[in-house]
Amino acid sequence: MATTSALPEIQMRILDFINRYVEERGMPPTIREIQQGAGLSSTSMVSYHLRALEKANLLSRYERCSRGVILQHTARPQSADVIAVPIVGQIVASKPVPTPDADALAAPDNVIHVARSLVGSTKGLYALEVRGDSMIDALINDGDIVIMRKVESPTDIKNGDLAAVFLLDRNESTLKRVYREADGRRLKLKPENPTMKPFYVDARQAMILGRVECVIRRVAQ
C-alpha cells in the first residue's frame, strides 16, 4: 500500500483538493471539478491519476456516479457523515407523464453520496433524477438529483412540501409542491415556474411517493 508521502506531486494535489472539497461541501467532487481544482489539463489526466490512486488503495471509485470518488483511511479519516443514497430512477418536473416500468428504472449500483447533515436519518432515503423545468423557482433544474424520503402516510406531507406524486388513474408521476384542500378531497399540485399553472387531482387517486429532503445540483461534465 502506498503512502501519501511517496506520491507524485500532482497526485498529492488531487488528494488535497478532494479532501478540502468534501470538508467544505459534504460530498465528493466530480471529475471536471477535480480537473479544475487540481489544475490538470484534461479529464482524461484526472482519470489516469485516480486509477493510480485507486491501485494504491488511497481511494475508491464508483464509475456510474458523477461524484463517485471516496477517499480511504490512508488519505484522510473516513467520514461517517457521508452516506450513499441509491438513484432509483427519474421524476418529471413538468406536466405528469406516463410512469415507466419500475424494473426499467431500477439501478441499485448507481448511488450518490451526500452529507448526513443534509438529510438526518437514513431511513427511507432514495434519489431521483429530475427531468423538466416546472420547479425552477424552487431551484430544482433539469438534470438535478433530488434526495427523497418515503412517507408512511399522506398526512406526513404538510401543505407546501415538495413531493413526488403518482397519479393512479393516469399511471403518471410528477414532482410538485403539494397542498391539501380543507375537506381533504383534492390535492393542488403547484409548479414553481411562472409560466405554468397549478392543477387539481382527486386525493383518492394520488399516491405520495416521497418528500424532497434536499437537492444536489447538476454539474456540467
Helices (H), 56-133: 102-105, 116-119
DSSP 192: S
Strands 145-149 and 125-131: antiparallel
Q: Does the annotation count 134 as an active-site position? A: yes
Contact predicate 190/159, CB 8 Å: no
Active-site residue identified among 66, 94, 173, 176:
176
Residue 5's CB: how many other CB atoms inside 10 A? 6
Helices (H), the chain: 9-25, 31-38, 43-55, 102-105, 116-119
Q: Does the annotation count 176 as an active-site position? A: yes
CA 188 and chain centroid, separation = 26
Active-site residue identified among 66, 94, 134, 173:
134
* C-alpha cell, 143: 438534470
The set of catalytic residues is: 134, 176
